[in-house]
Amino acid sequence: RSSQQGADSGGGSPSSAAAETPSSEDFSLSLLDTNLPAEAETELRSFIAKRLTKGALFEGMGNVASVGLSIPEYNVGCYYCRFQQENLLEMPTLESDINAPEYVVCFLGGSEKEDTFRLELDKYIQSLKINLDLEQKTLETYVDPYLRSWFENAICPIQRVVQLFQEKLAFLLHAALSYTPVEVKNADERTEKDISRFLAAASLQGLVQEGTMTSLCIAMTEEQHKSMIIDCSGPQPQLHNAGSNRFCEDWMHAFLNGAEGGNPFLFRQILENFKLKAIQDINNLKRFIRQAEMNHYALFKCYMFLKNCGSGDILLKIVKVEHAEMPEARNVVTVLEEFMRETSVA
């Protein structure tokens, strides 16, 4: 078959390889760019070739695996993703299928913890697909710098946000959980993107029902006075219309305690644990509400749970939206709202 070209990356930057037909052994791998020593590059190429032969690489879907390299003589985590140029994907002709080059990008890190950032890295490759051009000038001016900045741009945003917001991070976590609209003002492009990525990573999108998320977004957007404004004109961001609760404050301390090590993968793991606990609390509350439809003691358990979980304000909003079409459950939520309102006034 016609020889193929591609791109892998080692030690925090780019290198290359690719195949015409992933499930076929009849392909060639040619190096486009790398910052790995020759011996390690050969080992990585062999690893990718085996994966291609087995048909284990799907277009646009990254994988993370442990790879043994002689330099630095231990296993490293490798994110690898096969893709084809974006403009060529729209050409369904037989000729384009035969001749269109395909690429494999590899990013190497210290461990397999890159798996926690797999979706971010998939998006990073998607952006590369759109801008990739085979011309050498484009390779040198765009592709090389883009690949070499993968760690800074795809892995570090959460860490930078934690370091920027410090104790104010609790307000950002609260906005993400409650789907509160956030406006960022007077920020440079990187800071604005970092905040946007953090909010997306901290939200429960994909973990709660899609209809619930849509309804919450609509409800929070309609309450314009609740939009949170982040002003980055000074050395520390100033927040307006910000809300928080004990749950978010506790997790803020977990982030700040983790900041001492400066490990971006640790921050991502803390964020995943934060969302997991939020989902567990939502599921517990929904279970109590089902019981409370027939049991007054269970209603009291709902109330005590909301008081003690530290995130009752957000949980009530979520279950209210989810139970809007269920009369008995809606009545329970209404009673809980009244109880919580009376408690806060008291």
11 part of a folded domain:
no
pLDDT of 98 above 80: no
- Helix extents (H) in 166-230: 169-178, 189-202, 210-222
Q: For residues 142 and 83, what is the distance between their CA atoms, to the nearest angstrom?
A: 17
On whether both 200 and 315 belong to a single domain, the answer is yes
Task: Identify the residue with better confidence: 328 or 178.
Answer: 178
Most confident of 139-143, 178-182, 276-280, 319-323: 276-280
pLDDT at 22: 45
312 and 188 in one domain? yes
* Nearest-angstrom CA–CA distance, 296 and 163: 46
Distance of CA 327 to the CA centre of its chain: 36
The answer to whether 332 touches 299, Cβ cutoff 8 Å, is yes
Q: Are residues 299 and 179 in the same domain?
A: yes
Residue 204: per-residue pLDDT: 86
What was the pLDDT predicted at 149?
A: 92
Check if the beta carbon of residue 267 is closer than 8 Å to that of residue 255: yes
Cβ density class 83-105: b for 16+ within 10 Å, e for less: bbbeeeeeeeeeeeeeebbbbbb
Q: pLDDT tens for residues 268-287?
A: 999 999 999 999 999 999 89
Q: For the chain, what is the mean pLDDT? A: 81
Q: In a 3-state reduction of DSSP, which class is residue 19?
A: coil
In the structure encoding, which two tokens stand for residue 314, read together? 């957000």
Domain count, the chain: 2
pLDDT for the residue 15: 43
Of 110-124, 205-219, 313-327, 329-343, the range with the lowest mean pLDDT is: 205-219
Residue 88: predicted pLDDT: 55
In a domain, 93, yes or no: no
Q: Are residues 122 and 225 in the same domain?
A: no
Residue 337 has a pLDDT of: 83
**Distance between CA 200 and CA 119 in Å, rounded?**
12
146 occurs within a structural domain: no
**Residue bearing the bigger pLDDT, 78 or 16:** 78
Question: What are the tens digits of pLDDT across the range 188-199?
Answer: 999 999 999 999
pLDDT of residue 187: 94
Task: Specify burial of residue 4 (Cβ count, 10 A radius: 0-12, 13-18, 19+).
Answer: buried
Shared domain for 314 and 242, answered yes or no, is yes
User: Is residue 114 located within the same domain as residue 237?
Assistant: no
Residue 124 domain flag: yes
pLDDT value at residue 165? 95
Please indicate, yes or no, if residue 23 is contained in any of the structural domains.
no
First to last CA, the chain: 77
If asked whether residues 188 and 333 sit together in one domain, one would say yes
In what helix (H) or strand (E) does residue 228 lie, and over which residues does it extend? strand 228-231
Going by pLDDT thresholds of 50, 70 and 90, the confidence category of residue 27 is: confident
Q: Which domain holds residue 46?
A: 38-86+100-133
Q: What does the pLDDT read at residue 281?
A: 94
Q: Is the pLDDT of residue 213 over 90?
A: no
Given a cut of 90, is residue 175 above it in pLDDT?
Answer: yes
Residue 113 counted as domain residue:
yes
Alpha carbon separation from 237 to 164, 185, 248, 285 (Å, rounded): 8, 10, 18, 34
Q: Find all residues with CB under 8 Å of 126, minimum gap 6, and list them.
A: 60
Task: Please give the pLDDT value at position 264.
Answer: 86
Same domain, 118 and 173: no
pLDDT tier, 117 (very low <50, low <70, confident <90, very high otherwise): confident
Spatial contact of 156 and 149, defined as CB atoms under 8 Å apart: no
The pLDDT score that the predictor gives to residue 112 is 61
Say whether both 58 and 173 belong to one domain. no
Q: Is residue 297 domain-resident?
A: yes
Q: Alpha-carbon distance 93 to 232, whole Å?
A: 50
Q: Do both 188 and 111 map to the same domain? A: no
Across-strand partners of 82? 59, 104
- Is the pLDDT at 262 greater than 80, yes or no? no
pLDDT for 68: 86
67 backbone φψ class: left, alpha, beta (φ>0; ψ -120 to 50) = beta
**3-state DSSP call for residue 75?**
strand
46-60, 101-115, 294-308: range with lowest mean pLDDT = 101-115
Spatial separation of the C-alpha atoms in residues 212 and 322, rounded to whole Å = 6
Whether residue 5 has pLDDT greater than 50? no
Task: Residue 159: count other Cβ atoms within 10 Å of its Cβ.
Answer: 21
Answer yes or no: are the C-beta atoms of 314 and 178 closer than 8 Å: yes
Same domain, 107 and 221: no
Encode pLDDT of 134-145 as tens digits.
555 677 778 888
Question: What's the mean pLDDT in 28-48?
Answer: 88
In a domain? residue 319 = yes
246 and 326 fall within a common domain? yes
